Structure 1
Amino acid sequence: MTTTPYSAQFFPAGFVPTEEQRKIQTSQSRTSLVIANAGAAKTTTLALRIGEALTRGLAPEDILALTFTDEARQVMQARLVEVGIAYNTAKRINVQTVEEFAQRVLSKIEDGKPEVLHSTREQQSYALTALDGVGESNPQFADALDIRTHNTAVSQFLDNLLKLKAMMRLSSDDNIDPEYTAQSLNIPLTDYLWAVEYEKQRVDVFGFVDARGFFDATYDLACLLRSAPDAPDLLPAYKLVVCDELHDINEASFCIIQALTRIGTTYFVGVGDKDQVIYSHLGADESFLQYRIAASFPDCVSFPLTMTYRHGPHLAYAMEAFKRKPVDSNLPLRTEVHELHYASASGVCGPEVIKAIHQWKQDGKPLDHCCILLRDGHQSIEIENALMSAGVQYRTLTMKSYLLREEILFLRGMIAIALDDFHHVASPATREAIVEALATFAEVPLTPQELREAKTTIAKEPSSLKHFFDGQIQRVGSVAARTRIADAVAYLRGLSVDTLAHGALEKVCELVDMDKLAKRLYVHPYEASVVTKSVSGFITTARNSGKTLREFSEWIGAAEAFAGARPGKNAVLMDCIVNVKGKEFDHVILPFLDAGEFPNPLRKLGEEENLFYVAATRAKSRLSLIYSAEPALRSGFIAQLQLASVQKRADTALRRNLSAPVKTVGHRDLKVAYANRDVVKAMGAQWDKTRKVWYVPSHLDPEPFRNWFADQ
């Protein structure tokens, strides 16, 4: 289907939209699906479409802008003003996350007010209450149930609960085979039955909702829309609905968007990048962008956004080769792609990361514009140690320092037991976290109340740690688990403080059978493998230090103080790739680009490609790729970039961009006092009712209006 383009009436402030953007801005299609590249000004383009609708007379209250995260919502609100929509007008536009929208709709149609489970801790408590009924409700599965109450098990359950709701695959229908459903979704049967019980507790048979946690409003509204024929009538009507970051869409949110667009003559514009689908574990699926939206809306017209505004041609063309799709950049910017190698025999990546950081600093660039992105959390051990050794201050964004990872806290707790000394852990919060990790990895079945009391007691009085296992080991349900942890504690208590730390830690891991323990605690093989690698990396740190147990304990305390110190402005950033979608950094460093690391063999290759694409496209002016000097050991992603092949073409494009004349805005904004409005109007100036400014149209000579130029 094609549409006849017509002239734009909304002219944004300070820039000239591309032809691709203009087509989207002025599209007359009821449904417009925009397939965009990373950094292609997706949110700005949606703001242009909203500006056009306002200029053509649509009331702000008739427009709904949806996002999937609160951060994206804030960006959308800011972008509306940045393109020139008057602040008071932009404020009247409904900009909401899908979850927030669902909450507002439900609040108007429900009699009661559900309890809000604000935190994960509140959801965990609610989940444990539901767990009590799983066995009683499912006696036919008694032999297959694996009931565990430690925090790791509950956290994994909450993740699986979210997945089931996002995919709309949760059902208490007796005709549904729970074993088949759980197996098809790679979810433990216990977690599936637990989820059913959780929902029975949360929503009774009459539909009364007792509580809502994260995503529950989206799920509840989607269920309502599917179950009640007249449910769409309960939704507010909008004439224009736009949705950003459509690659994060899942079945539940898609159900809501479908219902919204079927009310009256609603127009819909959605923007997404199928190559940024990295949340499949939360129900995100590229099928929505590839065919499901088009199949659901017969009048759907697709538009491309190929031009990136984040980085220059050298990285743009590498991404084009990597993803086998058109990508271009008109930026007069050389985005450097640096390749750094480390000797395959050493396998040590840290020094190359430090080298990349030092080069950035020598080039006069601020360190807080540099971000190290990791495939997995365990990789931070070597990098953090290298940064500390080099005295480079760093700040983790959303990930935790490796010193605070659950498995490392367990080992730190075991060292404290060996030394009968918990005082080197200065932070009470860390002491509490260590107690929790000890209970989890020792498989001590504490109730939530008992765990809270133990954490509080030991945080206040570190010396009480020595009584922790003496008082709790006999309560372990499994004889085998009781024997393993008892042997490990007895071994540690028999050591001299001069024992080398790495040897002691290796023996502890052997006694508790760490590999099998990780697989029991972390159901998914990928997560268990990350824990195993993390433990191995920590032991390597101890071995490389050559320190005794006491010396290593003191070093850990100093390391935590360094990592936890309030960072100055000039601190390097660090995070896992999965946490930075939507963000950008001047310099991105990607270490450990080796076979077996990235792509991770335990994950789907397609999603691993998307994850690498997200990571590389966060870079604006420099991307540093760090991998083995041995070609056979490198990640296959390096060759896919075809860096040498695209070099000449990128150089030509950069020269083109540098020599291209700067596009000027076709109109000139004026700053006109109220008393002079009739004067400039008589001279030919026009009033932009959307941006609330007078401007000189492009066909007029702006010189007579010089006294009113807004930018002087």
Structure 2
Amino acid sequence: MTQSAQQLLEGLDDAQRVAAEALLGPVCVLAGAGTGKTRAITHRIAYGVATGVYAPNRVMALTFTSRAASELRGRLRALGASGVAARTFHAAALSQLNYFWPIVVGSGLPNVLDGKGRVLGQAAERLHLRVDTPTLRDVAAEIEWRKVSELSLDDYERTFDARSDGIPPRTPPGSLSPRQATDLQRAYEALKDDRRQLDFEDVLLACAGMIEAEPSVAMHVREQYRFFVVDEYQDVSPLQQRLLDLWLGDRSDLCVVGDASQTIYSFAGASSSYLLGFGRQHPDATVVRLEQNYRSSAPIVETANRLMRGRPGALSLHALTGSEPAEQAGPAEQAGREPMNVADPPAPPSVTGYRTDAEEAQAVAAQLRARIRDGAKAQEMAVLYRMNAQAAPLEAALSDVGVAYQMRGGKRFFDQPEVRQAVMTLRAASLATTDEPLFQSVSDVLRSLGWTLEPPQTAGSVRERWESLNAIMGLVDDAPEGMTFREFTDDLLARQAAQHEPTIAAVTLCTLHAAKGLEWDDVHIVGLGDGLMPIGYARTAAAVDEERRLLYVGITRARRRLALSWSANAAGPREPSRFLAELGIRTDRAESANAR
């Protein structure tokens, strides 16, 4: 073993080290929120490369978002394993289709649709159906669910029959009848076929079908990739599991990482059954439990544990108390954060009731403004909610008190005109030879585009443009020592391709679903009234359990401060969420809430 390989194990806790050293055979890492799972799996891969067990080009690390894949690549590159492929399932399948389709079919790969809406609208016109935009979006979601669940159109039509055997009954989107919903999907598929088009789910289906039907393709793929790692395995769908099985063939060098308590995409076809049943599927598997939480304060961890106590697959998180030796804080420090300050004891989570949604939003905005004035960073704060529609009063309240915010799930950072212009200008400038420090080179270009060292004392589009350019400037502070201007723009282009956005100095507003995989020092979760959490249409026990897991995800995004709130909603009585009663936190009612 080389010294560099040994160093890759240093700073890992005992459980992480077991995971990192288990290089062969089936491995299942059950990793609770904030337990350093990404650190464990990236060090595992890098350790395998450093010891010679893995050839980098024969390892495939799979995840579910482009941002997560980009983060994996960045961490692996920093650990000396830059040759490892880290991709989403879709990106890996599309790469293989682009290579094999011309060989097998004899023509170029059909075009892949950016979205389903336009084709669905044209299909509805063919059928003389009047379908509004929200219903078209719901039909698109139904198509995705049907395909990843590996149901034929005939199978799908039977799901509307409550008497169907083994398939949970579904409700047609909007005002469509079951027959109309199925006919619309048939027309959509026919239009795609006529135009030689594929949608995202077709990419997975076509890749799986090609491997199954063509032994030469299967042999080539299995020769290329020998070792697989799947992150967020609780989110895998039946179709993705089938494709993973095909990639593996009869081999078992698979490491899966997940947390059943963070299964929040069952409605889209994800199933935690593959994670929870991994030990039965692979009796010889090494199973490692990561339960030491390095993210959240002890009161937040205790709150999360209370919410999930006794639930199938739930892990019992353990919080750092401040008495651990410094080296135990390794995962937190490696993530670029300071370890928990023992001299600044964390505040317990709070629950507050308000009379209306507007008053709730105004109170949260006032608290955020006060924290920022006390020196807290806006980018380390987030307000989370169940539905996008809940954002409007929050946006108004934050604007009223002058707090900058960004909507996660809104317009993507690298799609903004000023950002596209900055990336192109920086790239052009980097092609010229320069001996200037990186900070000087980048700041000179951004100044020519209007960036200044101090922010403009105004709100609106001028400030938003400055924030975008300043976010690019902030990447210089995170750049490795000695990085050249050309290397910086190479990394920037890679971020642009993967939509790996930099941090902007603004409070984040996003849904609980969109918050998955992120974390902040201060988290406010609003709208915790019955009918919103759990959502009103969660009528079955399974649906309510998913809502519970969604709240768990939100709670475990918080590092140091967690504030929960709900409103009675003067327009119609609303009770606090049934989940709040389980948390053991005293509910404070704002004075206005007593006016119900």
When normalised by structure 2's length, the TM-score is 0.68
Partner of 1:49: 44
Partner of 2:418: none
Query: Any residues of structure 2 matched to 1:202-601 within 5 Å, and which?
Result: 202-203=192-193, 210-225=196-211, 232-233=218-219, 235-237=221-223, 238-263=225-250, 265-291=251-277, 293-324=278-309, 325-330=315-320, 332=322, 333=340, 334-344=345-355, 348-399=359-410, 566=465, 568=467, 570-601=505-536
Contact 1:587–1:620 (8 Å) recurs in 2 = yes
- Residue identity in the other structure for 2:525: L
Deviates more, 1:13-22 or 1:46-55: 13-22
Query: Any residues of structure 2 matched to 1:19-38 within 5 Å, and which?
Result: 19-27=14-22, 30-38=25-33
Contact 1:67–1:244 (8 Å) recurs in 2 = yes
For residue 230 of structure 1, report the CA deviation from its aligned partner: 7.9
Contact 1:312–1:335 (8 Å) recurs in 2 = yes
Query: Any residues of structure 2 matched to 1:659-678 within 5 Å, and which?
Result: none
- Residue identity in the other structure for 1:360: R
Structure 2 distance, partners of 1:8, 1:640, is 49
Structure 1 distance, partners of 2:137, 2:357, is 36
Q: How many residues align?
A: 456
Contact 1:33–1:300 (8 Å) recurs in 2 = yes
Structure 2 distance, partners of 1:124, 1:345, is 36
Partner of 2:499: none
Partner of 1:17: 12
Matched position secondary structure for 1:33: strand
Matched position secondary structure for 2:200: coil
For residue 231 of structure 1, report the CA deviation from its aligned partner: 6.6
Contact 2:534–2:577 (8 Å) recurs in 1 = yes
Per-residue deviation, residues 568-627 of structure 1 (Å, max 9, x unmatched)? 465322111111211111211112222232122312211111111111111122111223
Give ranges in structure 2 of 5+ residues lacking alignment. 310-314, 323-339, 412-458, 468-503, 587-596
Partner of 1:148: 130
1:125 lines up with 2:125 in the alignment: no
1:162 lines up with 2:144 in the alignment: yes
Matched position secondary structure for 1:349: helix
Query: Any residues of structure 2 matched to 1:691-702 within 5 Å, and which?
Result: none
Structure 2 distance, partners of 1:563, 1:610, is 40
- Look at both structures and tell me which one has the larger radius of gyration over its CA atoms: 1
For residue 306 of structure 1, report the CA deviation from its aligned partner: 0.8
Distance 1:59 1:29, change over 3 A: closer
- State, as a whole percentage, how many aligned pairs show the same letter: 22
1:59 lines up with 2:55 in the alignment: yes
When normalised by structure 1's length, the TM-score is 0.58
- Residue identity in the other structure for 1:126: V
For residue 115 of structure 1, report the CA deviation from its aligned partner: 3.6
Structure 1 distance, partners of 2:88, 2:61, is 8
1:612 lines up with 2:594 in the alignment: no
Structure 1 distance, partners of 2:318, 2:461, is 42
Give ranges in structure 1 of 5+ residues lacking alignment. 1-5, 136-145, 401-559, 645-712
Partner of 1:641: 583
For residue 341 of structure 1, report the CA deviation from its aligned partner: 2.3
Distance 1:629 1:280, change over 3 A: closer
Distance 1:129 1:113, change over 3 A: farther
Alignment equivalent of 2:189, drawn from 192, 199, 208: 199
Alignment equivalent of 1:624, drawn from 538, 559, 563: 563
Partner of 2:86: 95
Partner of 1:502: none
Q: CA RMSD in A?
A: 3.5
For residue 330 of structure 1, report the CA deviation from its aligned partner: 2.5
Contact 1:39–1:309 (8 Å) recurs in 2 = yes
- Residue identity in the other structure for 1:626: S
Matched position secondary structure for 1:592: coil
1:70 lines up with 2:66 in the alignment: yes
Matched position secondary structure for 2:510: strand
Matched position secondary structure for 2:255: strand
Structure 1 distance, partners of 2:356, 2:50, is 64
- Residue identity in the other structure for 1:43: T
Contact 2:300–2:349 (8 Å) recurs in 1 = no
Per-residue deviation, residues 209-253 of structure 1 (Å, max 9, x unmatched)? 921233331132234456778874353333311111112211111
Per-residue deviation, residues 54-101 of structure 1 (Å, max 9, x unmatched)? 13312111211111111110111122134xx32xxx221121211111
- Residue identity in the other structure for 1:383: L
Partner of 2:471: none
Per-residue deviation, residues 394-424 of structure 1 (Å, max 9, x unmatched)? 2212148xxxxxxxxxxxxxxxxxxxxxxxx
